[in-house]
Amino acid sequence: MISKENLIKRFVSYVTVDTESDPNSESTPSTEKQWNLANALVEELKRIGMSEVTIDENAYIMATLPGNVEHKVPTIGFISHFDTSPDFTGANVKPQIVENYDGGDIVLNKDQNIILSPTDFDDLLMYKGNTLITTDGTTLLGADDKAGIAEIISAMEYLVNHPEIKHGPIRVGFTPDEEIGRGAHKFDVEKFGADWAYTMDGSQVGELEYENFNAAGAVVSVKGKIVHPGYAKGKMVNSMYMATDYINSLPRMETPEHTDGRQGFFHLHHMEGTVDGTKLHYIIRDHDRKHFDARKKMMIHLADELNAQYGLERISVEIKDQYFNMREKIEPVMHIVDIAEKAMIDAGIKPLIKPIRGGTDGSQLSFMGLPCPNIFAGGHNFHGRFEYVPVESMQKAIEVIVNIVKLVGAKS
């Protein structure tokens, strides 16, 4: 496949470009700086020999590797996103290369005493002897999902250079703004023209996912009343105390830090407040659609109950659905999961088929008519300073892509 050195060089060239998305922006892409990497990817796709390379007015990139067989073969796709999470800065990323990892602590930043340790992240111990790419402790890394992009482009380059590998037509797609839930919003499924696709956006080697959370965002607005504190008795209404009542009335153990597997949660991820007004920003997640709907109703009902106690309409809740569980769209075409599973086994990988505790572009694309399971990209600890990716995991992902292509080409 691709050499370790060239893969590292390609990946590092991506993560050192700041592509953080912005949930408060209404443009697409949500940040102008995403164009910097998008335009570079277009040129790279052309350079490696891809055909029909396009980028539209919203920075959605598509390209084709034409089939090289005479018999009819389904058109398949591979998709990743180039934005990084606004949860933690992606500016001035300084990747560190750890050769032959020994299983011990990794000092990310000596001055700030930031250490990546298997005591805190025991997944590290799976990668003893591997080459790890880490942060310098002050930024995220961007393996989510620039590892996926590096893997897709590397796999396409390998196929271009090895025409003896027989395959059908392959489509590649790279999207902006996935991290803020809008990556698929302006994706032209008809133009993409694939029968099905795979997002390369998972974590640990072997992950293969066709179930994800149903997801919604909620903003709880609390209205208070400000008066001079020296003359406030019977007059002041402190919105932050009412907001605290609301927070404490939701199930405390149904939060991200207390749930796993298919368990859903309420996640308060941001808040701002004064006496006069407070806003609570939540995300709501559940794999079960009925439970998901019940969680949304609970948040609204809780506001109604507290308003009744206060005797005034002080609390309001606005909820917007973000995406739904792709399982119902994948199960009718489970052969596409079976192909990915076989591709992993052929690469010597034990498939880990499990639900995603999150979402990908594939969640929305599946409901838009493009069935799209998710495959590992290799990174860990996304969206923070402790993010890392083993290079060998990325190499395995490239091998899986090539194996899928071979299997689909041979199948028809």
The CATH number of the domain holding residue 276 is 3.30.70.360
Rounded to an integer, what distance in angstroms lies between the CA atom of residue 199 and that of residue 146? 12
> Dihedral through CA 337, CA 343, CA 348, CA 351, nearest 10?
-10
How many structural domains comprise the chain? 2
Same domain assignment for residues 295 and 146: no
Q: Which of 323, 351, 368 is the last residue of a domain?
A: 323
Confirm if 206 and 351 have CB atoms less than 8 A apart.
Answer: yes
pLDDT of residue 359: 75
Same domain assignment for residues 58 and 97: yes
Same domain assignment for residues 164 and 250: no
Same domain assignment for residues 295 and 350: no
Measured CA distances, 91 to 125, 214, 384, 385, 391 (Å): 29, 30, 12, 12, 22
User: What is the side-by-side strand order in the sheet with 315-323?
Assistant: 265-273, 277-286, 214-223, 315-323
Q: Is the dihedral of CA 341, 345, 347, 351 positive or negative?
A: positive
Same domain assignment for residues 404 and 343: yes
Which pTM value belongs to this model?
0.87
Rounded to an integer, what distance in angstroms lies between the CA atom of residue 15 and that of residue 95? 8
pLDDT of residue 322: 86
Quickly list H helices, 115-202.
143-161, 189-192
Residue 83 annotated as catalytic: yes
Same domain assignment for residues 188 and 334: yes
Rounded to an integer, what distance in angstroms lies between the CA atom of residue 298 and that of residue 286? 13
User: What is the side-by-side strand order in the sheet with 76-81?
Assistant: 51-55, 61-65, 170-175, 76-81, 196-202, 374-376, 207-209, 352-353
Nearest-5° Cα angle at 206, 408 to 172? 45
Q: Is the dihedral of CA 368, 152, 58, 49 positive or negative?
A: negative
Q: Which of 323, 341, 371 is the last residue of a domain?
A: 323
Which of these, 276, 280, 278, lies nearest to 229 by C-alpha position? 276
Region of 261 on the Ramachandran plot (φ > 0 left; ψ -120 to 50 alpha; else beta): left
Residue 44 annotated as catalytic: no
Question: Among 18, 151, 178, 387, which one carries the catalytic annotation?
Answer: 178
Which of these, 221, 265, 276, 225, lies nearest to 243 by C-alpha position? 221
Strands 96-98 and 132-134: antiparallel
User: Which stretches in the chain have pLDDT values below 50?
Assistant: none
For the chain, give the number of residues: 412
Same domain assignment for residues 136 and 197: yes
Rounded to an integer, what distance in angstroms lies between the CA atom of residue 176 and that of residue 149? 12
Same domain assignment for residues 79 and 218: no
pLDDT of residue 181: 84
Question: Among 83, 151, 177, 179, which one carries the catalytic annotation?
Answer: 83
pLDDT of residue 346: 97
pLDDT of residue 5: 95
CATH number at residue 156: 3.40.630.10
Q: Which tokens in the block code for residue 287?
A: 């794999």
Rg (CA), the chain: 23
Q: Which of 323, 345, 360 is the last residue of a domain?
A: 323
Rounded to an integer, what distance in angstroms lies between the CA atom of residue 316 and that of residue 277? 12
pLDDT of residue 257: 95
pLDDT of residue 412: 52
Which of these, 337, 336, 400, lies nearest to 154 by C-alpha position? 400
Domain membership of residue 128 as a residue range: 4-212+325-411
pLDDT of residue 411: 59
Host H or E run for residue 340: helix 335-346
Same domain assignment for residues 152 and 170: yes
Percent helix, strand and coil across the chain, each to the nearest 5 = 35, 25, 40
Same domain assignment for residues 232 and 343: no
Torsions phi, psi for 149 (to 5 deg): -65, -45
Q: Which tokens in the block code for residue 362?
A: 């594939």
Which of these, 336, 338, 335, 345, lies nearest to 399 by C-alpha position? 345
Confirm if 170 and 408 have CB atoms less than 8 A apart.
Answer: no
Same domain assignment for residues 56 and 148: yes
Same domain assignment for residues 262 and 359: no
Q: Which DSSP state fits 230?
A: G
